[in-house]
Amino acid sequence: MSSSSEISMVLVVSLFVTSLMAMTASAGNFYQDFDITFGGERAKILNGGQLLTLNLDKFSGSGFKSKNEYLFGRIDMQIKLVSGNSAGTVTAYYLSSQGPTHDEIDFEFLGNLSGDPYTLHTNVFSQGKGNREQQFHLWFDPTKAFHTYSIVWNSQRIIFLVDNIPIRVFNNLETIGVPFPKNQPMRIYSSLWNADDWATRGGLVKTDWTQAPFTASYRNFQASTTSTNSLTEQNAWQTQGLDAAGRNRLRWVQQKFMVYNYCSDLKRFPQGLPAECRRSSCSKEHQNKTQKHNRGNPDPYQNDALFLQLNSSTGTESSNNQSPEAPSREQGQDQRESEADYPKGLSTNMWWADLKGALGQRFNFGAIACSARVLTKDKHLALPHVSVSDIRYIDWPELHRRGFKGVVFDKDNTLTVPYSLTLWGPLGSSLQQCKSVFGPDIAVFSNSAGLYEYDHDGSKARELEGAIGIKVIRHKVKKPAGTAEEIEKHFGCKASHLIMVGDRPLTDIVYGNQNGFLTILTEPLSLAEEPFIVRQVRKLETSLVNRWFRKGLKPTSHWMLPDGMQCVKHPPPL
């Protein structure tokens, strides 16, 4: 070995040993540990360094960063988010290195209108590449008290935790070519800033500056890390993972509160999902069901307290996954209320409750007779006038020019992923154009939100209306059965002057055709949330429709648009 190679090896080994030895475990003081990065007096350190507040007004936001850099560790911060109407604001809390090939681990809290839930946006960058977004709604109101947001980062994995409950795990999969942040020390950053061009409903809701200043508060910073500036003993976070109880908590969060997962976004990755998604248990859990919370829990801040039941059913956790600490005085009342709401033994019985609710929503038993008639006699009713990949391909101005007076959307897999109550992000600009063309004459007519049988108090309809800004028509009969009476009453015109947009030939399209609508069939936004049987039924529907088209069957001609392709955009959107 050459002398230069020996010197290089010695340096590498020395740096490695030094990094193993360089550990800090500290309860933070904001004066000692952080620097204000921008915003001037809008960022304030109070109570002798125990509290820090960031403020945002019309002229500037504010932010801070850590004095130290860290390579691996556990970072805890208690944060109380902007209260009230926080739409358009973003509170960011993250680890990051610098440069075009930087690493980054993100918490971002996207504000919303009063009463609507915050969206917790997470992401992981390695060597400058991100695009690994997962988003969640929380099981509590993060504006009423301080809650602890933690990042555990070691050479095997990254764990995101909220009040010590894991919400996301990003594993080191370098063995299959997935880069992992492990070589670049990172600082802690946080900022409060205006992002109303994208943060709330895709930029549709702007910041209300009459509510300014907006304030986020921080306290009880703790770091147990490898630091480039200090030395101490080794800590447990270096090998921390999830035991059975931790995995159960993670599964609970994914099933109840995850609202977006890049690993389930087949539209975004038409050439195939990223490599880590094919190995990700998180992806599998999200594909099983991401939106149960939205079905069974109309209050976005109602806390199931399921993790308490999971603790009792799985036993004591190992040291690799610390049990949740006792709630602070500010959090105690909220936790006691949530515990009282939850029945004992839920962890063993929850699958049955979920199954009963899922069967009721996913299987349209009332449509069987109607479908039988279509399959045997009236096949043309299942054939759409127009077929597109999604609503971005629809030429709304052309339809309006042709004399159509309004648009009726299905919800699940047309505007939202199944059982979500928020718009699928990429559709935002098309829906906004539709609103600008048709004004208030747009509505949702769904077999979930607004259907009396499953939304008898209208809570899901109200939440969806708040999220996408479109009226949800209440009704009692599932598509494809029933008349268009409620819809015609809402729009004040005959159904023949309206457009029905949906993703199911034997429900949305049959309903629309037999009531005289112009019918537009879209491809489903995501199949990941649908159970196996429903996916097979969907395949059968598609196969039958394609077969009937090949045999020369045609949909009933619509007098206002004889050639449906005249309302399809060319070239299609990116």
Q: Give catalytic status of residue 339 as yes or no.
A: no
Long-range contacts of 491-496 (CB under 8 A, 24+ apart): 491/405, 491/406, 491/441, 491/443, 493/405, 493/406, 496/558, 496/559, 496/560
Measured CA distances, 432 to 203, 416, 440 (Å): 10, 15, 11
Q: Quote the Cα angle for 160-166-171, to 5°.
A: 60
**How far apart are the C-alpha atoms of 61 and 39, rounded to whole Å?**
6
Cα torsion 401, 402, 406, 407 to 10°: value is: -100
Please tell me whether residue 270 adopts helix, strand or coil conformation.
coil
Which among 293, 412, 313 has a CA at the least distance from the CA of 354? 293
Catalytic: which of 69, 104, 285, 529?
A: 104
**Helix 306-314 to helix 244-257 angle, to the nearest 10 degrees?**
150
**How far apart are the C-alpha atoms of 60 and 380, rounded to whole Å?**
59
The tokens describing 131, both together, are 């695009």
Alpha helices in 424-505 (DSSP H): 428-438, 459-468, 485-491
Secondary-structure breakdown of the chain: helix, strand, coil percentages, each rounded to the nearest 5: 35, 25, 40
Q: Give catalytic status of residue 104 as yes or no.
A: yes
Catalytic: which of 6, 41, 69, 108?
A: 108
Count CB atoms within 10 A of the CB of residue 53: 18
Residues noted as catalytic: 104, 108
